[in-house]
Amino acid sequence: MPPERERVALPLLQDDRAALRADCGNCFGLCCVALAFSASSDFARNKAAGKPCGNLRADFRCGIHRELPAKGYRGCTVYDCFGAGQHVSQDTFGGRDWRADPATAQQMFEVFPVMRQLHELLWYLTEALTLPQTKPIRSDLRTCLARTEELAQGTPEALTGTDVAAHRQDVNVLLLRTSELVRKGVGGKKKDRRGADLFGARLKGADLRGANLRGAYLIAADLRDADLRTADLIGADLRDADLRGADLTGALFLTQTQVNAARGDARTKLPGTLDRPGHWSAP
């Protein structure tokens, strides 16, 4: 068991999601151990959950980090834990790694995916609180954020027993309301393509302002120069979507994972909370 320690609240501000960004230098390579990989176009070989990736070094760094796509590990380049890795490593387990304390390894690996889901919800809730349109539900958002933070600060035993699916449903009610409040301020007829199959869709230059694209399959879609401002993109699959020249400023609930999985260039406009992927092309 990790040592007893004082637990502190996550350092979240309404306009600061720094605590929800991955800090691999303070993580024990948990995504490279806890998660299972299946051989595919994203991963070169199968890996069971709880088994360290063969490329994980003794210092918990990736031995082929600069060569991941070339070596067949494209999936690793798009993954984002929302800061769950360093939280589990440094707070939940008090800085004691699974190699030095093997007795905690299995529990740590079970806690990590739970924490990752909680941190993802924290990302969405924190974003919702930054939006002026959410004033009517701001009290409920703050309450839900505090509850999610409380769950994330739980003991390993509490975390593995957390019903994340039930909590996600409670959060989703507020996220849906957030989406409605923001998108209703967009003029014109708004497209509702929630969960739509838009695989390879030709949407170059499309006006998608205020569109509902929650959970839409936009794999390999042509979104060059499309206007996605205030579009709800929560859960949208943007793998290989062409975002060159697209405007995603103000897009709702967009994550680094989605951006990393897409293609873009120097003309692509992103929310200020996200980083421009290094593999994106020049204009």
Whether residues 87 and 141 fall in one domain: yes
- State residue 17's pLDDT score: 80
Whether residues 30 and 164 fall in one domain: yes
User: What total number of domains does the chain contain?
Assistant: 2
pLDDT, tens digit (0-9, with 9 covering 90-100), for 76-95: 989 999 999 999 999 999 99
- State residue 278's pLDDT score: 87
* Phi, psi for residue 93 in degrees, rounded to 5: -110, 15
Map tokens 């589990």 to a residue.
Answer: 88
Whether residues 152 and 70 fall in one domain: yes
Q: Is residue 146 part of a domain?
A: yes
Map tokens 């897009």 to a residue.
Answer: 251
Cα(44)–Cα(40) distance, rounded to whole angstroms?
A: 6
- Of 117, 147, 182, which one is at a domain's C-terminal end? 182
Whether residues 193 and 232 fall in one domain: yes
- Of 162, 182, 202, which one is at a domain's C-terminal end? 182
Q: Is residue 279 part of a domain?
A: yes
Cα(130)–Cα(260) distance, rounded to whole angstroms?
A: 23
- State residue 18's pLDDT score: 81
- State residue 5's pLDDT score: 39
Q: Is residue 47 part of a domain?
A: yes
Q: Is residue 13 part of a domain?
A: no
Whether residues 173 and 197 fall in one domain: no
Q: Is residue 202 part of a domain?
A: yes
Whether residues 196 and 122 fall in one domain: no
Whether residues 172 and 193 fall in one domain: no
Whether residues 48 and 169 fall in one domain: yes
Whether residues 27 and 147 fall in one domain: yes
Whether residues 215 and 178 fall in one domain: no
CATH at 196: 2.160.20.80
* Tens of each residue's pLDDT in the chain, 283 residues: 444 434 444 444 444 688 899 999 999 999 999 999 999 988 999 999 999 999 999 999 999 998 998 999 989 989 999 999 999 999 999 999 999 999 999 999 999 999 999 999 999 999 999 999 999 999 999 999 999 999 999 999 999 999 999 999 999 999 999 999 999 989 888 889 999 999 999 999 999 999 999 999 999 999 999 999 999 999 999 999 999 999 999 999 999 999 999 999 999 999 999 999 988 875 5
pLDDT, tens digit (0-9, with 9 covering 90-100), for 11-49: 444 446 888 999 999 999 999 999 999 999 889 999 999
- Of 127, 155, 182, which one is at a domain's C-terminal end? 182
- State residue 279's pLDDT score: 85
- State residue 12's pLDDT score: 46
Whether residues 43 and 176 fall in one domain: yes
Cα(131)–Cα(141) distance, rounded to whole angstroms?
A: 11
Write the CA distances from 99 to 18, 63, 102, 108, 162, integer angstroms: 28, 17, 5, 11, 26
Q: Is residue 4 part of a domain?
A: no
Q: DSSP readout, the chain?
A: -PPP--------BTTB-GGGS--GGGS-SGGGTTS-B-SSSS-SS-B-TTS--TTB-TTS-BTTGGGTTTTT-HHHHH---TTHHHHIIIIITTT--TTT-GGGHHHHHHHHHHHHHHHHHHHHHHHHHH-GGGGGGHHHHHHHHHHHHHHHTS-HHHHHT--HHHHHHHHHHHHHHHHHHHHTTS-SPPPB-TT-B-TT-B-TT-B-TT-B-TT-B-TT-B-TT-B-TT-B-TT-B-TT-B-TT-B-TT-BT--HHHHHHSB-BTT-B--TTSPPPTTPBP-
pTM of this structure:
0.91
- Token duo for residue 130: 């930054």
Whether residues 218 and 195 fall in one domain: yes
Q: Is residue 173 part of a domain?
A: yes
Q: Is residue 8 part of a domain?
A: no
Range of the domain at 116: 18-182
